[in-house]
Amino acid sequence: MNDLAMALTQLCRRNRDGSQATQANRLNGLKAMAAELYQLGFRLPAAASLKPKHVAALIAAWEARELSPATMKNRLGWLRWWAEKVNKASVIPRENAELGIATRTNAGGNRAWQLEQVRALPDTLMQMSLQLMAAFGLRMEEALKLKPRQADAGHALRLQGSWTKGARARDIPIRTDEQRQLLAAAKELVGGNSLIPTGRSYIQHRKAFEHQTLKHGLTNLHGLRHGYAQARYRELTGWPCPKDGGPAQKELIGHARALDRHARLIVAEELGHSRISITTTYLG
């Protein structure tokens, strides 16, 4: 147990708000946050050391792991409780919308967006990772760990299990000239290496990447995966998905319904998911 976990345990023992079950869940949740912050490279000596950058790092990490809206809501509740008990309520906004995550708790919203400007980021490796996220629907971890030269399988971008969530290898088709040109530029930029700078660990670079993207207002990086999924759905079916203004699944019949399912299976596979039901999050 690190120093922060011990401090949060003591904080919970001094402040027994709610039922025993609520207290137990809160303690477990806060201890998990302490461990996560440690893994992210933050060494907080005390509970009162909480700062906005720690909140931002946790949120970015949760988004990268695709936590459910319910899980996000619970964790933010525990995080606000922690901040309030150490008189640091101001480090985390009261409304999720101010964190750029309002749509996580609103299933009807559309989180998708298209990348327009990356030059604000401080170095070319970060810029390239962001472009790869948008072009291939990659998770943050995948876009940082990717070795472009090794991943180029000609017809597809081949992701190794060591780069992906759940160690699940997959192929993402290279369908456009823009994707091919971007991959060529990535290979020229890093050669046989990954998008992580030489001499820096994955955790160190992810921390820097999260800090810089948040600093420059890029708070919804996962929305790039939503954008990729919706563009692929339109390409495969010929019409927009429900979240982009297209017809709901229940409105489709016959061939259209079969095509919808076929497209969702492909989108799920390209995003690295084994269940077609997850596409509801991206497509509606």
Residues 6+ apart with CB under 8 A from 52: 91, 92
At residue 71, the pLDDT reads 78
Q: What rounded mean pLDDT belongs to the chain?
A: 86
For 31, 157, 228, the CA distances from 24, given in Å and listed in that order, are: 11, 44, 40
At residue 154, the pLDDT reads 92
Cα–Cα nearest to 207, from 144, 151, 263, 134: 144
Task: Give per-residue pLDDT as tens, 117-135.
Answer: 666 677 889 999 999 999 9
DSSP one-letter code for 247: -
Task: Find tokens 């079950």 and name the residue.
Answer: 21
At residue 196, the pLDDT reads 95
Highest-confidence segment of 75-79, 95-99, 217-221: 75-79
At residue 122, the pLDDT reads 77
DSSP one-letter code for 51: -
Residue 1 C-beta-side C-alpha neighbours within 13 Å: 11
Average pLDDT of the segment spanning 239-268: 91
Report the alpha-carbon distance of residue 242 to residue 45 in Å, rounded. 47
Task: Give per-residue pLDDT as tens, 44-59.
Answer: 999 999 998 888 888 8
At residue 186, the pLDDT reads 96
Residue 155 token pair: 């017809």
Residue 94 token pair: 């009261």
At residue 90, the pLDDT reads 84
Of 163 and 102, the one with more pLDDT: 163
Average pLDDT of the segment spanning 161-168: 88
Task: Find tokens 């509970």 and name the residue.
Answer: 47
Report the alpha-carbon distance of residue 86 to residue 46 in Å, rounded. 10
Between the two ends of the chain, the Cα-to-Cα distance in Å is 41
pTM over 0.75: no
